[in-house]
């Protein structure tokens, strides 16, 4: 399915989602380091990673919603995309809660409740990440029609043509 919002031939949502996933997951690692070392700097870094991750998650969600709206109704992809989106909204809300529990504390020190919310968010991100992968890898959402290992660069602006596709069939 090619009806996703794209920049230079690639889906914007797929490009953006790596930032909030990385930031939010790594914030949990800094929380663990805070408890292991009792160094407030780890708590401060975690706090700001959560801030950036929430902002990045909201930005990625805008493009994810636009992509989801273009998926045909009544398809498995539409259903999986709905669960993917709902789960990702829940992740952002869990991290907003974690952020809220830190914002008024000196050095943004994480409480066990804040870290628990973050840990649940990271665990849920594993599930929603799998759902996103299912949409791309199994259901072809965001994949160019006729995509194959020898396709021309997306920077050419040309769709994959039939001669490239037949070339690919001879290599398999």
Q: Is residue 139 within 8 Å of 88, Cβ to Cβ?
A: no
* Calpha distance 21→70 (Å, rounded): 24
* Secondary structure of the chain in HEC code, one letter for each residue: CCCCCEECCEEHHHHHCHHHHHHHHHHHHHHHHHHHHCCHHHHHHHHHHHHHHHHHHHHHHHHHHHHHHCCCCCCHHHHHHHHHHHHHHHHHHHHHHHHHHHHCCHHHCCCHHHHHHHHHHHHHHHHHHHHHHHHHHHCCCCCCCCCCCCCCCHHHCCCCCHHHHHHHHHHC
* Calpha distance 130→136 (Å, rounded): 10
pTM: 0.87
Domain ranges of the chain: 6-141, 147-172
* Calpha distance 96→137 (Å, rounded): 30
Residue ranges in the chain modelled with pLDDT below 50 = 165
- Cβ partners under 8 Å of residue 24, min gap 6: 49, 50, 53, 54, 57, 91, 95, 118, 121, 122, 125
Give the gyration radius of the chain's Cα atoms.
20
> For residue 171, what pLDDT is reported?
53
* Calpha distance 87→93 (Å, rounded): 10
């Amino acid at each position: 399915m090619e009806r996703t919002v794209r920049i230079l031939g690639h889906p914007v949502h797929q490009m953006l989602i790596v930032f909030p996933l990385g930031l939010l997951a790594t914030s949990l690692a800094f929380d663990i380091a805070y408890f292991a070392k009792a160094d407030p700097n780890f708590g401060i870094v975690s706090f700001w990673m959560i801030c950036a991750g929430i902002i990045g998650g909201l930005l990625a969600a805008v493009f994810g919603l636009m992509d989801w709206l273009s998926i045909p109704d009544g398809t498995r992809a539409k259903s999986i995309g709905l669960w993917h989106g709902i789960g990702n909204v829940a992740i952002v809300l869990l991290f907003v809660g974690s952020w809220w529990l830190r914002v008024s504390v000196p050095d943004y020190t994480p409480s066990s409740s804040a870290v628990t919310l973050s840990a649940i968010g990271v665990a849920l991100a594993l599930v929603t990440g799998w759902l996103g992968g299912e949409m791309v890898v199994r259901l072809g959402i965001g994949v160019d029609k006729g995509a194959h290992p020898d396709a021309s660069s997306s920077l050419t602006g040309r769709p994959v043509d039939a001669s490239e596709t037949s070339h690919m069939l001879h290599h398999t």
